[in-house]
Structure 1
Amino acid sequence: MSAARVSKRISAIAESATLAVDAKAKALKAAGRPVIGFGAGEPDFPTPDYIVQAAIEAASQPKYHRYSPAAGLPELKQAIADKTLRDSGYKAEASQVLVTNGGKQAVYNTFATLLDPGDEVIVPTPFWTTYPEAIRLAGGVPVEVFAGPEQEYLVTVEQLEAALTDRTKILLFVSPSNPTGAVYSPEQVREIGQWAASKGLWVVTDEIYEHLTYDDVPFTSIATAVPELGDKVVILNGVAKTYAMTGWRVGWMIGPADVIKAATNLQSHATSNVSNIPQIAALAAVSGPLTAVDEMKVAFDRRRKAIVAGLNAIDGVECPTPKGAFYVYADVRALLGKEFETANGTARPETSAELAALILDEVEVAVVPGEAFGPSGYLRLSYALGDDDLATGVARLQGFLGKAK
């Protein structure tokens, strides 16, 4: 019997569902199909000019044509530490910062550094599709704790307590949330953080949507709100969402010096330093004003209200109003098992994955099914696309889903 060509470890990884949906939508567009893509969490705005100009100038300087420290340019690490103190009140030294190739590398580095085989990570669900895969790659076991729309997609301490075992090492905490847009109140953040501290758990907090909250809802960093966590907290962040820099691939992790040193050792063998030119662009971003994100928020807020109203106008769709990020997480369980008219007759989707595929085929709208983020029965839509596309896409959904029998 011949050996498998691909390792079991890598074969077990699921493709990123959000990127897969986005790639299919872009391929159909390239083929001339008028697809509206609600799949990827990517602002439709260009990166601000002053950031682009910093990169252009850096590209002409020979010193940036060379290797640089694997952990990041010293000036960028210091700027990230300063920015973190400015924005979330958390004090860290530059030595506690590791600059990574996007937020995903920060996620993987963190779990690979903290987890031993069999260690469990409590993952509030719905979750961003990469978290459980990164945990499994690191040898850990993701333990899903689901909070549905009835509780605004916010887990409770009671749920977390029920998931706790003697193998639990880490609580993953994400607020504002991808995929739901849910934001924990300061009181909820403190309660959850104090619970984690009382159990001796590490907390890994992803704060990449820190500047995208609405309706005067504050962002609360669990690292700042719960000093009892001590040095058992790792902050994940990056420039992608705040500065419309998804393609520049600069993220970071902030944590205890020994963890950062170990993660740097890992990165030194995996990728070495992040490209210097994007690092200089990120330096301009984090050192500069928040004007760009403030302007984007005005558009995001307008689109948020429009998409929630449009989806809730469809019988069988329940869409809570998100308080952060740029996603809605629509409950479509009432539509499953219903009959839909199609170009080839009728179809009766039984899962949200089947429904999403049907929507793409029939009305050329790309959405991501709940299976990518946890249980079936939901659709995630990003409203970070243009106003006209959003209106067109929602109108198509209304026309198709509204005729379910």
Structure 2
Amino acid sequence: MPHFNPLIARLSPPPVPSVLAWAKAYDGARGPLIDLSQAVPGYPPHPDMLTWLGEAAASPAYTGYGPIEGEKVLRDAYAAHVSGLYNARIGPDHIHITSGCNQAFMATVMAIAGAGDTVLLTNPFYFNQETTLSMLGIKTELLPCDPGNSFLPDIEAVTAVLRTGVRALALVTPNNPTGAVYPAALLRRIFALCRANGVWLILDETYRDFLGEDASPPHALLRIGDWQDTLICLYSFSKSFCIPGHRLGAITASPQVVAQVAKVMDNLQICAPRSAQAAIAKALPALDDWRAENRVEITARADALRSVMSRLTGWKLQAIGAYFAYIRHPYPDISSEFVAEKLAVIAGIVCLPGDYFGAGQEAYLRFAFANADVATILQLEDRLSGFELPGI
């Protein structure tokens, strides 16, 4: 019998491929498959983005190793972007470019925590963050979030758990899986508690570009004088620029954190994809209007889903924002994994079960609604209203 690392062997297989396997049994009777499983942009990249990617990929200048921390041109461009967005003073020495935001999270936790330390996640959590901690031997504590308050955490619960000696608190806003958006005032209170207890706050803002105009800037944490001592912000270029296959993310933190992350990255990958970095450095200032148009489109898709859910009996929209909606299904005594499988097989709707996002999430399903256009989302009303579990 082969022997494997037990920290890896005990993990479940990657969830999205397993869910997509259910869809193979769908016979097409209700119409084309509606894939709401994975957070991928439901529209193509800008033509200029493709041109810049092609030019950089064809250039010998980007075929060798690059700086571990990222290309200077992108670190400069992203530092300027973050400075403008948050009205803060962020320099390129605060930026580390990674191969996607999952890698940004892994490199960050490896830099600040070790096996046996404890990192606090919310419940529900983004499953890749939980599995990252598990495979590193880092303990996980869960911060409960209130379904009646769009799955935002209670500040008293935050206060209590931060006193237990956790190393870091990881928050995702807009949230994955619920879509919940953390108000700026709540983030400031949580950050103040983290500072008071010497706890790192890891803020994953992968979906921040899809917040409404009234949510800009999303918070004021980067304007706090000593933010660098306890705050690390994560970001992904994949969703905003529709290039998830090119794997590009970023960390905003103190130069000291960047230096520690560079040690990790030198062993993980040496440098993030160089041609994509060159292309994004051009796209960041050039495609603002295009990204704003996409934000309006995603808002229209969210509004369409709200409209659909308001007319359904039994199904409840519990939270929504940016890319995701968290839906309570009408079968309280049946696991969401079973419901999600039957939705895929019978109704041709592929989504992720709440079971994948933490204990006590059996009543929920995650719809990645940004994948589908408005016309497709409106088809959900007929499919969900006519859906029945076999034998129920």
Q: What's the TM-score, normalizing by structure 2?
A: 0.91
Aligned to 2:340: 356
What does 1:164-243 correspond to in 2, within 5 Å? 164-214=162-212, 216-221=214-219, 223-224=221-222, 226-243=224-241
Q: Secondary structure at the match of 2:222?
A: helix
Moved more, 394-403 or 297-306: 394-403
What 5-or-longer segments of structure 1 have no aligned partner?
338-349
Does the 8 A contact of 2:236 with 2:249 survive in 1? yes
What does 1:263-342 correspond to in 2, within 5 Å? 263-320=261-318, 322=320, 324-332=321-329, 334-337=330-333
Please state if 1:390 is matched with 2:377. Answer: yes
Does the 8 A contact of 2:118 with 2:166 survive in 1? yes
Does the 8 A contact of 1:185 with 1:218 survive in 2? no
Aligned to 2:84: 86
Deviation at 1:111, TM superposition (A): 0.8
Aligned to 1:48: 46
Q: Secondary structure at the match of 1:203?
A: strand
Does the 8 A contact of 2:302 with 2:369 survive in 1? yes
Q: Distance in 1 between matches of 2:25 and 2:284?
A: 36
Does the 8 A contact of 2:122 with 2:144 survive in 1? yes
C-alpha RMSD of the superposition? 2.5
The count of aligned residue pairs is 388
Does the 8 A contact of 2:7 with 2:137 survive in 1? no
Q: Distance in 2 between matches of 1:403 and 1:303?
A: 30
Q: Deviations over 1:122-164 (max 9, x none)?
A: 2122221111111222321121112132111110211112323
Q: Secondary structure at the match of 1:52?
A: helix
Deviation at 1:217, TM superposition (A): 3.9
What 5-or-longer segments of structure 2 have no aligned partner?
none
Aligned to 1:369: 353
Deviation at 1:223, TM superposition (A): 3.1
Deviation at 1:41, TM superposition (A): 0.8
Deviation at 1:7, TM superposition (A): 1.4
Deviation at 1:390, TM superposition (A): 1.9
Q: What's the TM-score, normalizing by structure 1?
A: 0.88
Does the 8 A contact of 1:55 with 1:278 survive in 2? yes
Say if 1:191 and 1:226 are closer, same or farther in 2 by CA, change over 3 A.
Answer: farther
Q: Distance in 2 between matches of 1:31 and 1:69?
A: 49
Q: Distance in 2 between matches of 1:192 and 1:112?
A: 23
Q: Secondary structure at the match of 1:191?
A: helix
Please state if 1:379 is matched with 2:365. Answer: yes
| Aligned residues with identical type, % of pairs | 22
Deviation at 1:306, TM superposition (A): 1.5
Deviation at 1:172, TM superposition (A): 1.1
